Amino acid sequence: MNFLGLSFLFALPLIAVPVMIHLYRGRQRDIISWGAMQFLEQATTKGRSIQRLEELLLMLLRIATVLALVLALAQPMLRSTWFGSATDREIVLLLDNSLSMARTVNEVSASDRMIEKALELVEDLSSSDTVHLLLAAGGGQWLTAEGIAADRAGKHQLTTLLEEIEPTLGRAHVLDCLQLAVHLEPQEDPISRRIVLFSDNQSLNWQLQSERSWQQLGAARENSSVPIAIEIVACGFAETELKNLAVMKLEASRQFARPGERVEFSARVENVGETASDGTLVEWLIDEEVFDISELRSLAPQEATRVTAQLQRKEAGNFAVTCRIQAKDQIVLDGQASVVIEVSDQLPILVVHDPETDESTKATDQLFTAALGYESDKVLDWHSVYRPELASVAQLAEIAFSKYRAVVILGSSELPAEAHERLHAYVRGGGGLWVTLGDRVDRETFNRFWHDDGGGLSPILLETLVSVEDTNAPKGSIHPPERDHPATMQLANTTQLDIDQARLSEYWQMVHGGDQVRKAWVLLESGNGSPLVVENLVGEGRVLIQAFPLGLEWSNLPQLKSYVVMIHDWLDYLTAPAMARYNLEPGNVIKASLPANTVVTTAKLLTPSGQQVTLASTASDENESVRYSQTELPGLYRLTFETDGEEASLPFYVARDVEESKWQPLEQEDRTQLFRWAGVQFEGVQAAATATVTNVEPRPRARPIWGALLLALIGLLIGEQILSSYLARQRSGVAVT
């Protein structure tokens, strides 16, 4: 016998309470008021021995009542041959639903073979077996919240779940899934656990480079209190040549465009099969509507090529653009890929200045906004996609940074501590920050708040203000930057731009503090090597610290052609993380800020597997936002919510692992190694070892008996009440008529 609620057995000492009551009652004397002789003559008395026997019986009834209550709460399981015999095995079916399982030969896919073999195994199980289902793609996903008994109803439920499994764009992480299965907490007391993996044995999915992790898995299996066997059932087509064309990568010339602006798309298509492919067509779709068609020539095995398309979208919004190969090869799922672009007329950026105390910033902000095609807040005939909004330092407390793609601080006057904290959170979430330093900067204040002993937004310390007497000397010039950084790629072209003609009269000397590891990328430096603009990566966002202002007070840069190009390129670079938030890698968090001044309490996210998830919104500054982190499964995610009575939609695309398309089977040497590391048993290999765990001897069936104990408890309570009432009447005497 074992107990499911073992802790309730600590209440067993309560059975001493009826004994104590009995002993205490025995020390008391019954006092009977003197009555008339006629009543005493008719009274009947019992012998003392009979009375003791009745009181002893009452005590035993009370002890049995307490004992029945405690045992019922402890939920005992009684194992007996009267209940029949059973094996009580735990069966964990690990099902590979990765991309390679979509491979189809003669109209039968590896996934179809997997489901067929899994159904055969389920049909052969006994009603005493408990079954768990675990999907392998995306790091492991349990299909069953708890084990399902393999009886008639349970088999019907398992059949329904198995038949609904479809291949995905994901990659199977076999090692991680086996760890989940081995460390699964048993529901009862099984005599064995059988883990069966149905897979095509794609070599990539086995993480063979993690030898130590496999050995740890083997140790956990051997040290488990329950004997565990790991079996592999092959469902692939190892004997058949692979025929597969795959879209390995899809890129857009820009992920943001203005209405009517042309965007170019380029897709890399590779023949990852073992035979030459035929020429075919490639469809280009936007929200499942074809907008262009490209021709794809015949490709030799392992040969790759590129196909291109162009798109001009007049409507604003976020759109998923898909490249799809029309050819029907063995793996259809990897014949397409998507990228999300954003079309909008303008992107707001916040420009912080302090015109009330510094006249120089007025000219600086006018030069900066003019470079974007604005005269202060007034739009000119030509204007950039970036729309500047001017604000003073005093207004920052009322401004939600989340509304802006980037924040530009002109002159870096002292900010409130609360503004520093909010800026830090803004940048960590993917925002861009550009800080320019002028003559109003206090060195100690900057180092304390902006550098903050290496934990602030600035990666450098300010040392001193450098004054340049001869601006033509290397000390006063700007050295042309390198081409290997996206923010300086155009500036480095001195044949078309004139950054090498920039001259500086003053700038702040920037240094790294103490033994801090250099983590700043120097975008611009003077002719003698002093850093002028450095970059810092904070969370998902980017920060630029510039040692001189953007006005004419310290340099002639605003008079050069490079000025406008630099502002646009650096704003492009700073806003890139926010632009890329729609195109993700597996495991990246989906984050979306809902429209301002819109009450949205919940939003719904449709996953690539067709599951709809309800997301609760959380407050962020003045906006509501939603987050979703379970993006291990590649494919298209679509977030929907209602705003102003209409349904709005945002697409997100999680890219797949392209190596999954290059199917390579496990070699015999790999299988032997896996058996040595963790006892993984493949079909036809180590069959005797498998039999020791899977072919177990039946044992008596265990059944719960707390139901019978509760019925006995009711009977004992009734009996105790009857007997105690009877004895009370006897002690008080019998009424005489």
Sheet holding 304-312, edge to edge: 245-252, 262-271, 304-312
Residue 265 and residue 370 share a domain = no
Of the pLDDT bands very low, low, confident and very high (cuts 50, 70, 90), residue 669 is very high
Of the pLDDT bands very low, low, confident and very high (cuts 50, 70, 90), residue 183 is very high
SS3 676: helix
Model confidence at 358: pLDDT above 80: no
Model confidence at 197: pLDDT above 90: yes
Position 308 in a domain:
yes
pLDDT average, residue stretch 209-216: 95
Residue 306 and residue 207 share a domain = no
Q: Where is the domain boundary, 309, 344, 379?
A: 344
pLDDT average, residue stretch 413-426: 86
Model confidence at 503: pLDDT above 80: yes
pLDDT average, residue stretch 658-669: 90
Q: Where is the domain boundary, 526, 553, 581?
A: 581
Most confident of 153-157, 312-316, 354-358, 704-708: 153-157
| pLDDT for 515 | 43
Position 27 in a domain:
yes
Residue 591 and residue 577 share a domain = no
> CB of 470 within 8 A of CB of 528?
no
Of the pLDDT bands very low, low, confident and very high (cuts 50, 70, 90), residue 267 is very high
Model confidence at 229: pLDDT above 90: yes
Helix axis angle, 211-222 to 668-678, nearest 10°? 50
Position 737 in a domain:
no
pLDDT average, residue stretch 397-407: 89
Domain hosting 577: range is 347-581
| pLDDT for 91 | 95
pLDDT average, residue stretch 175-187: 92
**What's the pLDDT tens digit per position in 468-493?**
988 889 999 999 998 889 899 999 99
| pLDDT for 172 | 93
Range list of β-strands (E), 580-735 = 583-584, 590-593, 602-606, 612-616, 618-620, 623-628, 635-643, 646-654, 680-682, 699-704
**What's the pLDDT tens digit per position in 24-72?**
766 655 555 555 544 444 444 545 667 678 778 878 888 888 888 888 8
Interstrand relation of 432-436 and 541-546 (parallel, antiparallel or unpaired): parallel
Position 658 in a domain:
no
Range list of β-strands (E), 527-617 = 531-538, 541-546, 583-584, 590-593, 602-606, 612-616
Residue 110: its H or E element: helix 110-123
CATH code (residue 301): 2.60.40.10
pLDDT average, residue stretch 221-244: 92
Separation CA 488–CA 494 (nearest Å): 11
Comparing CA positions, the residue from 564, 432, 409 lying closest to residue 491 is 564
| pLDDT for 362 | 59
Calculate what percentage of the chain has a pLDDT beyond 90.
54
Position 366 in a domain:
yes
pLDDT average, residue stretch 544-548: 95
Residue 33 and residue 141 share a domain = no
DSSP class of 87: -
> CB of 265 within 8 A of CB of 590?
no
pLDDT average, residue stretch 348-372: 79
More confident residue, 28 or 179: 179
Q: Which amino acid is at 695?
A: N
| pLDDT for 75 | 79
Residue 458 and residue 368 share a domain = yes
Residue 534 and residue 467 share a domain = yes
Residue 230 and residue 98 share a domain = yes
Of the pLDDT bands very low, low, confident and very high (cuts 50, 70, 90), residue 654 is very high
Of the pLDDT bands very low, low, confident and very high (cuts 50, 70, 90), residue 275 is very high
Model confidence at 689: pLDDT above 80: no
> CB of 504 within 8 A of CB of 526?
yes
Residue 464 and residue 361 share a domain = yes
| pLDDT for 735 | 46
For 345, residues 6+ apart whose C-beta sits below 8 A from its C-beta are: 258, 259, 316, 385
pLDDT average, residue stretch 651-678: 92
| pLDDT for 35 | 54
pLDDT average, residue stretch 297-313: 95
| pLDDT for 412 | 67
CATH code (residue 235): 3.40.50.410
More confident residue, 563 or 394: 563
Position 485 in a domain:
yes
CATH code (residue 474): 3.40.50.880
Residue 550 and residue 465 share a domain = yes
Calculate what percentage of the chain has a pLDDT beyond 70.
86
pLDDT average, residue stretch 696-719: 73
Q: Using a cut of 0.85, tell me whether the model's pTM lies above it.
A: no
Residue 81: its H or E element: strand 76-86
**What's the pLDDT tens digit per position in 434-466?**
999 998 888 999 999 898 888 889 999 999 999
pLDDT average, residue stretch 318-337: 93
| pLDDT for 734 | 52
Residue 72: its H or E element: helix 48-74
Model confidence at 558: pLDDT above 90: yes
| pLDDT for 517 | 40
Model confidence at 99: pLDDT above 50: yes
Residue 373 and residue 500 share a domain = yes
Q: What is the mean pLDDT of the chain?
A: 85
**What's the pLDDT tens digit per position in 607-641?**
998 889 998 877 655 567 888 999 999 999 999 98
Separation CA 700–CA 703 (nearest Å): 10
Position 127 in a domain:
yes
pLDDT average, residue stretch 695-701: 54
Helix axis angle, 706-732 to 48-74, nearest 10°? 150
Q: Within 13 Å, how many C-alpha atoms sit on residue 432's CB side?
A: 25
More confident residue, 341 or 10: 341
| pLDDT for 737 | 43
Position 170 in a domain:
yes
| pLDDT for 10 | 81
| pLDDT for 57 | 83
Buried b (16+ CB within 10 A) or exposed e, 302-331: eeeeebebebebeeeebbbbbbbbebebbb
Burial of residue 588 (number of CB atoms within 10 Å: 0-12, 13-18, 19+):
middle
Give how many domains the chain has, as a whole number.
Answer: 5
Residue 552 and residue 444 share a domain = yes
Q: Where is the domain boundary, 321, 344, 367?
A: 344
Residue 485 and residue 351 share a domain = yes
More confident residue, 51 or 87: 51
